[in-house]
Structure 1
Amino acid sequence: MSNNIKKLTFMAVAVAINIVGSKIALFLNLPIFLDSIGTMLAGIALGPLAGGLTALVGGLVNGVLGDIYAIYFSISGVLMGVLAGFLFHNKKNSWVLLPLKTLVVTLPASALSACIETFLFGGITSAVVTTFIIQALSQTALKLFGSAFLTQAVTDYVDKLIAIILVVVSMKHLPYELTHFEDNKKAKEKVAD
């Protein structure tokens, strides 16, 4: 099987992980989203482009499957996937820097999500708990955008930290050939080392 087919198959599995995670979070009314585990997986294993594409396709498919908000928020998912790819792909990921790197992945995307929530949806999202928190905080000095950003920053950070930890731990325990896509000669040399 060619390397490109392996990468596309890997990305398809990552999209499926995003969709399943999203449906679990919606079904259980969780305050986190679980829709970016696959995005982080693709970004960390394959790089920024794969992370962004996985988020985009996952968001579009989730939108078609009934979560119309997912289509709009897929833009912030793309940003997270690209940033995760830049910060984690082919890098030594120390546990000490993991929370800081996750913050760098999360904050720009949270700001983008807050803009989408505020200007397109008036602070309403598909996550009931998040919508309630945003609406409650919008009655304070934070107003609607501030409450959307604060809520997104906290929930996104927790959500992405969980996703990144799951991916980093999983990648350490999965066979090297399953999570690294180099030519066969290089892969065999690294496994032998």
Structure 2
Amino acid sequence: MKKIPSFKLSIVGLGIALNVIGTFTAFSLKLPILLDSIGTIMVSFLLGPYYGIITGLCGSIVSGITFDIYSLYFAPVQIFVGFFSSLVYNKGLMKDNKRFLGVFVISIFSSFIGAIIAAFVFGGITSSSSSYIVAILSNMGISKVLSVFIVQFLIDYLDRFVAVSLVILVILKIPNNIKQELINN
């Protein structure tokens, strides 16, 4: 088994903490965005998809067992966020105006999985404040699955755009010697 360098392990730990703090903040303040993937995206950009996925899954587990049981059920969404974040970042889709497309790619796949979980496991009602919008759309005659997907995508796109923008700002401030250390290990 290959030993994970402690520097990378520290970055993953920071990412998990960012996910949990973001989730707790959004959960406590009933924000319309989730803030649960800032750490996943950061780690995926810096270390690649494997570390990003691990970060997302661990963040969901910690949040799920401490204050938001729904986070456990939505852990598969973090797999897609971690994988596609790394993919679009490495393809250069997070630079300038391409960022809108890059966030779209991350959001469309993760929203699809999140909508399936929310619609079929929870009937569209979760701890997110967006459940109110799902109820309104459903009462307007839109199918439950489509209502959940529409809301999930809009919320996820906004959430991922905020997360990616914050992460890009942070990455730009990281000294080149530290970035090189991450690449070499």
Q: TM-score range by the shorter chain?
A: over 0.9
Question: 5 Å matches for 1:163-182?
Answer: 163-180=163-180, 181-182=182-183
- The share of aligned pairs that are identical, in percent, is 31
Distance 1:52 1:61 in 2: 14
The change in CA–CA distance for 1:89 and 1:50 in structure 2 (over 3 A counts) is farther
Count of residues in Structure 1 that have an aligned counterpart in Structure 2: 182
TM-score by length of 1: 0.89
The change in CA–CA distance for 1:159 and 1:135 in structure 2 (over 3 A counts) is same
Distance 2:110 2:78 in 1: 7
Say whether the 8 Å CA contact 2:93–2:99 is kept in structure 1.
no
What is the deviation of 1:87? 1.2
Runs of 4+ deviating beyond 3 Å: 89-93, 177-180
1:151 corresponds to: 151
- What is the one-letter code of the residue matched to 1:12? G
Say which SS state the counterpart of residue 83 (structure 1) adopts: helix
Question: 5 Å matches for 1:82-101?
Answer: 82-89=83-90, 91=92, 93-101=94-102
Distance 2:150 2:93 in 1: 30
1:190 corresponds to: none
Say which SS state the counterpart of residue 74 (structure 2) adopts: helix
What is the deviation of 1:179? 4.1
Rg bigger for which structure? 1
What is the deviation of 1:94? 1.7
- What is the one-letter code of the residue matched to 1:124? I
1:65 corresponds to: 66
- What is the one-letter code of the residue matched to 2:158? V
What is the deviation of 1:145? 0.5
Distance 2:105 2:178 in 1: 27
* Structure 1 unmatched ranges of 5 or more: 185-193
2:105 corresponds to: 104
Say which SS state the counterpart of residue 138 (structure 1) adopts: helix
